[in-house]
Structure 1
């Protein structure tokens, strides 16, 4: 396929958009929080511990409640996850990550809807993705989307 001037212009505009996003306050904050998380020894140890437990949990899940260690492993992984989520650098990183995701979802939505209002754009939240009904849901109107 030959590159037309329109395609070249479109690629240039996309590059400018990517550059603008990577220079945005939201992205810069995300990068800073990620580095802080990577340098936090307590957080890295907690992440490693959680990943080890996650492997055990996946093994136990294969057999479900019939596995002899099901209750213990399930309880331990929930407690470990809770402790991990309460570490300040983890909380800050997750917040920055969520804000960046929201920005990217909004940009995706603007681009998609400038092409057509019927294009479905994932929001990152399955509940809202199912509820949005942009373009119709195929249920014959029973979901009350208009």
Structure 2
């Protein structure tokens, strides 16, 4: 690959864009929420409890409902997940994480669209996916599109 002035300029623009994202309010909020979540002892206790139960859950899943502790483990993991998800720091972090993902999805769509309207830009957010299924919806046409 030959380094042309055009490529160098594109790389500089990409670095500027990355720096703008890193300096944005959205990233700052994400980092604040991440720090609060990681430093709060009660939040970390809830997360660690869930992780431990998740390992037990995976073991129980191998045997399914025939495992002797199936009901107890299933009940405990649901309760632990609910307790973790309702924690203020975890909830705030998840919101900040979603905001950051939305920003990155929007940037990806703008960059891809600037190249060509036919560029496929992966996005986990259905809001950003076109309704025409022009690139195929991944269901093999079962939705009625012409995939």
TMscore range, shorter length: 0.7 to 0.9
Deviates more, 1:134-143 or 1:80-89: 134-143
Q: Cα 1:33–1:140, aligned 2, differ >3 Å: closer, same or farther? A: closer
Deviates more, 1:99-108 or 1:126-135: 126-135
Provide structure 1 residue ranges, at least 5 long, that are not aligned to the other structure.
none
TM-score norm. by structure 1 comes to 0.87
Number of the residue aligned with 2:89: 89
Number of the residue aligned with 1:121: 121
Deviates more, 1:87-96 or 1:118-127: 118-127
The offset of 1:109, in angstroms, is 1.1
Within 5 A, what are the aligned runs for 1:1-146? 1-125=1-125, 133-137=133-137, 139=141, 142-143=144-145
Provide structure 2 residue ranges, at least 5 long, that are not aligned to the other structure.
none
CA distance in 2, matches of 1:140, 1:76: 38
TM-score norm. by structure 2 comes to 0.87
CA distance in 2, matches of 1:33, 1:49: 20
CA distance in 1, matches of 2:141, 2:50: 41
Q: Cα 1:33–1:141, aligned 2, differ >3 Å: closer, same or farther? A: closer
- How many residue pairs match? The answer is 145
